[in-house]
Structure 1
Amino acid sequence: MSAAPKAAPDLPAWPRFDDDERAGLIRALEQGQWWRMGGGEVDAFEAEFARHHGSEHGLAVTNGTHALELALQVLGVGPGSEVIVPAFTFISSSQAAQRLGAVAVPVDVYPDTYNIDVAAAAAAISPRTSAIMPVHMAGEVADMDALAKLSADSGVALVQDAAHAHGARWQGRRIGELGSVAAFSFQNGKLMTAGEGGFVVFPDAELREIGFLRHSCGRPRTDRLYFHQTSGSNFRMNEFSAAVLRAQLRRLDGQIDTREQRWPVLSGLLAEIPGVVPQGRDPRCDRRSHYMAMFRIPGIAEEERNRLVDTLQARGLPAFAAFRAIYRSDGFWETGAPDLTVEELARRCPHADAISADGIWLHHRTLLATEAQIHDVAEIVADVVTGSPARR
């Protein structure tokens, strides 16, 4: 008689909340002003989050996609521009550029960290390139030393897509101390959340002021005569979201501490499973926020990977297929796509193409579990992977 399958551990729920969020919502409610121009929650959150990330120049916005779009617009990206993006990322990275009329140019990523390949980015620079957008995949900070040098040598600005990197550090420096604009997300699954929300950290006050104007329809804070100084849109965060995020920020570091303790355990156990390769880590990323617990099964067919994800979910784990390479989604080609075919981009981006087919990730709440539960998770993954017909 075969043993019963391992039961799924009772993993922590997400989002996490307590009386701090409740108190914040009541505080926002009772102040009597529910938008940022009249209340105080957004202003307070901007100061707290920016300072936490090593900056004095932050702007809260409606969501992470808008944060990227605003960051690019502030740097002058628009029609006729090109923005270099990693091919392996959530499609907001490219869509933010495409919404501004720019062309998104996908380049390959490293096969271990899944972050943008700096040499590939350098090779893609053209006279029309206005920005390079490294994505700190799963909270693993991209090679910001090499990227900063590339930016300085080429004169092309960097825009950090830090949607996964709340609280992360690169050689002791926080995201806001790396000298370039950075955009964060507070979507429901992120490391801090108010359901939706976003944030832009600027390296100086002048760029932040341009960002403020454009996020508020081009209108200065003190304007009473509807004199709009720039074009823009309404990307303003509301007071209730900011109140929730202030509470979320207070527990961020403790949660990252726990994830940093659990990931070496889980990755070590995963690495013992034949055919499984956990996401690598650059030691210069000395504090990783772990938005996802990612691993690959190199050589597996995409259809079989998808079946494994379905089985892991059926066994009670919060498992997901890796992002699809952006050029393999129809939406990428609607506007602002390069004059290349899918096949040509796949040849240029072999690692991104492979990871999108063989990658799996577990939600970061997995890494908030106990160490005993982490062992249970790894046992289920091993059981499912080794039991797959493709692995036998």
Structure 2
Amino acid sequence: MNARPAPQFPPWPQYDDTERAGLIRALEQGQWWRMGGDEVDSFEREFAEHHGAAHALAVTNGTHALELALQCLGAGPGTEVIVPAFTFISSSQAAQRLGAVAVPVDVDPDTYNLDPAATEAAITPRTKVIMPVHMAGLMADMDALAKLSADTGVTLLQDAAHAHGARWQGKRVGELGTVAAFSFQNGKLMTAGEGGAVLFPESELYETAFLRHSCGRPRDDRRYFHRIAGSNLRLNEFSAAVLRAQLRRLDEQVALRDERWTLLSRLLGAVDGVIPQGGDVRADRNSHYMAMFRVPGIGEDNRNALVDRLVAAGLPAFAAFRAIYRTDAFWEIGAPDETPEAVAERCPNADAISADGVWLHHRVLLADEEAVHATAEIIAEAVAAG
């Protein structure tokens, strides 16, 4: 590769005096946990309103958000949860830690999202939840999955860890009538270092979740009458104050990322051997947590070497998620009664993407157009050098 100055990308996380003021506000209110302060309550109201949901419940992290949502939806021993075979491992482990069996299902080779036909084929009498992941911020086929849910009676749970501010046919995540879980981990589109949230379309399930996230204890309890089993998944006031500030700039950042992805995907599409993540016109707002592309046929070892070349050239590049059934962790507990190769045989797209996929952190899409052009040039040179 030719020596060139590394492109300049904005730092992440981003913050300004809004976060500083929020932290001071949380500090000086004198109560630093949600039961005595106002920051978590305020953030929940604001996040729910922003995403069109009736209720939001803030929790400690995105994995806990999934676990809590699944528990409230009845996942547990004797049940199965359908998850994409290509996703971050938390999607499956959230179900497995509850004692449910996580069933990997193949994804679309263009969008990397859960394949509805493969999902339908995987449903059994034990299937309790279908969990689509909105990969990289591109929403899964919610029309087909909603119909499948209605036809079979199997509940949908949106893993929206990548999809803050995304829309499907004009509807925000919280307007699609299902529970949805978000992450605020350090690299996510909004962050307080860690954190998560669950959106609920109605009150009864939300109230159950509130109890479970607070050791089963009602808000007004003074005598330790824990009504149901739960854990301490409460978000603290400082994190909520930061997230309130992060939420205020989300829309502007989503719009900029979408504009830059239009440019970058066009440039990458012109590179021989590179195929950028596709789209779906019904997903009319993509939040672009990642800028993803494939180099079909490259093979895992060469893909990893490609990522190393990109990192050396100054790009925040990463290998794609490993297909969940290709990890030892997946088989420790709550795995289907199959071999890894048997799962791989019915998940060829997930297997291929995990070997030939690359992603760039979304701060690449917050840079100026010059940096986007430079990014595409670096990728073209790095692919050609392989």
TM-score (normalizing by structure 1)? 0.98
1:41 maps to 2:78: no
Q: How does 1:207-226 map to 2 (within 5 A)?
A: 207-226=205-224
Distance in structure 1 (CA, Å) of the matches to 2:46 and 2:80: 33
Distance in structure 2 (CA, Å) of the matches to 1:78 and 1:382: 47
1:154 maps to 2:152: yes
What is the match of residue 305 of structure 1?
303
Structure 1 SS opposite 2:128: strand
What is the match of residue 250 of structure 1?
248
Q: How does 1:4-23 map to 2 (within 5 A)?
A: 4-23=2-21
Q: Which amino acid aligns with 1:81?
A: T
> Paired residue for 1:199, among 150, 174, 197?
197
> Paired residue for 1:349, among 325, 347, 351?
347
- Measured after TM superposition, the shift of residue 101 of structure 1 is 0.3
- Measured after TM superposition, the shift of residue 8 of structure 1 is 1.3
Q: Which amino acid aligns with 2:376?
A: A
> Paired residue for 1:233, among 228, 231, 234?
231
> Paired residue for 1:130, among 128, 131, 139?
128
Q: How does 1:278-317 map to 2 (within 5 A)?
A: 278-317=276-315
Distance in structure 2 (CA, Å) of the matches to 1:6 and 1:386: 16
What is the match of residue 323 of structure 2?
325
- Measured after TM superposition, the shift of residue 55 of structure 1 is 1.0
> Paired residue for 2:356, among 333, 355, 358?
358
Distance in structure 2 (CA, Å) of the matches to 1:4 and 1:376: 12
Asked if 2 retains the 8 angstrom alpha-carbon contact of 1:89 and 1:325, the reply is yes
Distance in structure 2 (CA, Å) of the matches to 1:301 and 1:146: 32
Asked if 2 retains the 8 angstrom alpha-carbon contact of 1:6 and 1:379, the reply is no
CA-to-aligned-CA distance 1:259-310 (integer Å, 9 cap, x gap) = 0110010001011110000000000000000000000000111000000001
CA-to-aligned-CA distance 1:44-83 (integer Å, 9 cap, x gap) = 0000001100012110000000000000000111111100
> Paired residue for 1:101, among 99, 102, 115?
99
CA-to-aligned-CA distance 1:102-138 (integer Å, 9 cap, x gap) = 0000000000000000011111111110000000000
- Measured after TM superposition, the shift of residue 325 of structure 1 is 0.1
Asked if 2 retains the 8 angstrom alpha-carbon contact of 1:275 and 1:297, the reply is yes
Q: Which runs of 4+ in 1 moved over 3 A?
A: none
Asked if 2 retains the 8 angstrom alpha-carbon contact of 1:8 and 1:380, the reply is no
> Cα RMSD between the aligned structures?
0.7
What is the match of residue 375 of structure 1?
373
CA-to-aligned-CA distance 1:184-237 (integer Å, 9 cap, x gap) = 000000000000000000110111000000000100000011001110100000
CA-to-aligned-CA distance 1:20-53 (integer Å, 9 cap, x gap) = 0000000000000000000000000000001100
Q: Which amino acid aligns with 2:311?
A: Q
- Measured after TM superposition, the shift of residue 6 of structure 1 is 2.6
Distance in structure 1 (CA, Å) of the matches to 2:81 and 2:63: 15
- Measured after TM superposition, the shift of residue 5 of structure 1 is 2.0
Q: How does 1:59-208 map to 2 (within 5 A)?
A: 59-208=57-206
Q: Which amino acid aligns with 2:70?
A: L
- Measured after TM superposition, the shift of residue 4 of structure 1 is 4.2
Distance in structure 2 (CA, Å) of the matches to 1:272 and 1:387: 17
Q: Which amino acid aligns with 1:180?
A: T
Unaligned runs of at least 5 residues, structure 1: none
What is the match of residue 29 of structure 1?
27
- Measured after TM superposition, the shift of residue 318 of structure 1 is 0.1
Distance in structure 2 (CA, Å) of the matches to 1:17 and 1:270: 30
Structure 1 SS opposite 2:249: helix
Distance in structure 2 (CA, Å) of the matches to 1:383 and 1:5: 11
Q: Which amino acid aligns with 1:289?
A: S
Distance in structure 2 (CA, Å) of the matches to 1:105 and 1:309: 30
Distance in structure 2 (CA, Å) of the matches to 1:256 and 1:23: 24
- Measured after TM superposition, the shift of residue 167 of structure 1 is 0.1
Asked if 2 retains the 8 angstrom alpha-carbon contact of 1:6 and 1:380, the reply is no
What is the match of residue 50 of structure 1?
48
TM-score (normalizing by structure 2)? 0.99
